């Protein structure tokens, strides 16, 4: 338990979080630009959640010894992991329902007016695909189903590390 509670103070652990998220982003860009899979609005929201996890890892790596920075990193990690899980779950529902023709996704992301990521970085955040299309599968699982597992793992690891840290602080 002590080892788990110390992870949030370890720069390498935060770097691993950032690198893992960056790898998923690079894989997404490979799928988009080399395999020709166009991202839909739900894919873009999931991509944004992964960028949040990446940012959490970067902030945690630089500020793991500072309580405020660690709290910000934990908040970003939780937001990215949980929000990404919810979006992936909605995306799976869109694709798995027999009434998928009733679901339509927006064409433009609903980012805040103060951060229109799809205008600033269209190569990363512009949605060009359809949410209902299943254009790729791995072992019979669609992209949103795979992302559901990824975000589930990020969420579970977040909960374990945070719980271990809180229990450690309570014992001290």
Give per-10-residue mean pLDDT for the chain (172 aa). Answer: 68 93 95 89 92 96 88 95 94 74 67 78 78 76 91 95 79 59
Question: What integer pLDDT is reported at residue 104 of this predicted model?
Answer: 63
Q: Report yes or no: 8 and 165 within 8 Å, Cβ to Cβ.
A: yes
Q: For residue 137, give Cα distances in angstroms to 34, 37, 65, 130, 143.
A: 16, 12, 41, 16, 6
Q: Is 47 a catalytic residue?
A: yes
- Catalytic residue chosen out of the listed positions 64, 70, 105, 165: 105
Q: Is 3 a catalytic residue?
A: no
- Catalytic residue chosen out of the listed positions 3, 40, 64, 165: 40
Question: What integer pLDDT is reported at residue 172 of this predicted model?
Answer: 54
Helix (H, G, I), strand (E, B) or coil at 85: helix
- Catalytic residue chosen out of the listed positions 12, 43, 64, 70: 43
Question: What integer pLDDT is reported at residue 5 of this predicted model?
Answer: 64
Question: What integer pLDDT is reported at residue 136 of this predicted model?
Answer: 73
Q: Is 105 a catalytic residue?
A: yes
Helices 41-63 & 143-171 angle (0-180, nearest 10):
30
Question: What integer pLDDT is reported at residue 155 of this predicted model?
Answer: 97
Question: What integer pLDDT is reported at residue 50 of this predicted model?
Answer: 97
Q: Which residues contact 21 (CB under 8 A, 6 or more apart)?
A: 50, 51, 53, 54, 57, 80
Question: What integer pLDDT is reported at residue 2 of this predicted model?
Answer: 65
Question: What integer pLDDT is reported at residue 99 of this predicted model?
Answer: 57
Q: How many CB atoms lie within 10 A of CB 17?
A: 24
Q: Which fold has domain 2-171?
A: Bromodomain-like (1.20.1550)
Question: What integer pLDDT is reported at residue 133 of this predicted model?
Answer: 72
Helix (H, G, I), strand (E, B) or coil at 141: strand
Q: Is 40 a catalytic residue?
A: yes
Q: Is 64 a catalytic residue?
A: no
Question: What integer pLDDT is reported at residue 108 of this predicted model?
Answer: 73
Question: What integer pLDDT is reported at residue 139 of this predicted model?
Answer: 86
Question: What integer pLDDT is reported at residue 137 of this predicted model?
Answer: 72
């Amino acid at each position: 338990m002590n080892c788990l509670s110390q992870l949030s103070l370890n720069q390498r652990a935060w770097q691993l979080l950032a690198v893992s998220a960056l790898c998923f982003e690079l894989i997404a860009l490979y799928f988009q630009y080399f395999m020709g899979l166009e991202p839909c609005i739900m894919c873009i929201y999931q991509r944004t959640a992964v960028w949040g996890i990446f940012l959490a890892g970067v902030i945690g790596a630089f500020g793991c010894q500072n309580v405020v920075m660690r709290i910000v990193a934990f908040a970003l990690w939780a937001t990215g992991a949980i929000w990404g899980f919810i979006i992936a779950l909605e995306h799976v529902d869109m694709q798995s329902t027999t009434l998928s023709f009733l679901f339509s996704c927006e064409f433009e992301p609903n980012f805040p007016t103060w951060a229109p990521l799809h205008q600033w970085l269209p190569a990363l955040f512009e949605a060009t695909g359809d949410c209902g299309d299943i254009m790729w599968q791995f072992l019979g699982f669609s992209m949103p189903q795979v992302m559901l597992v990824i975000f589930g793992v990020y969420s579970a690891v977040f909960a374990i590390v945070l719980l271990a840290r809180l229990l450690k602080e309570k014992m001290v």
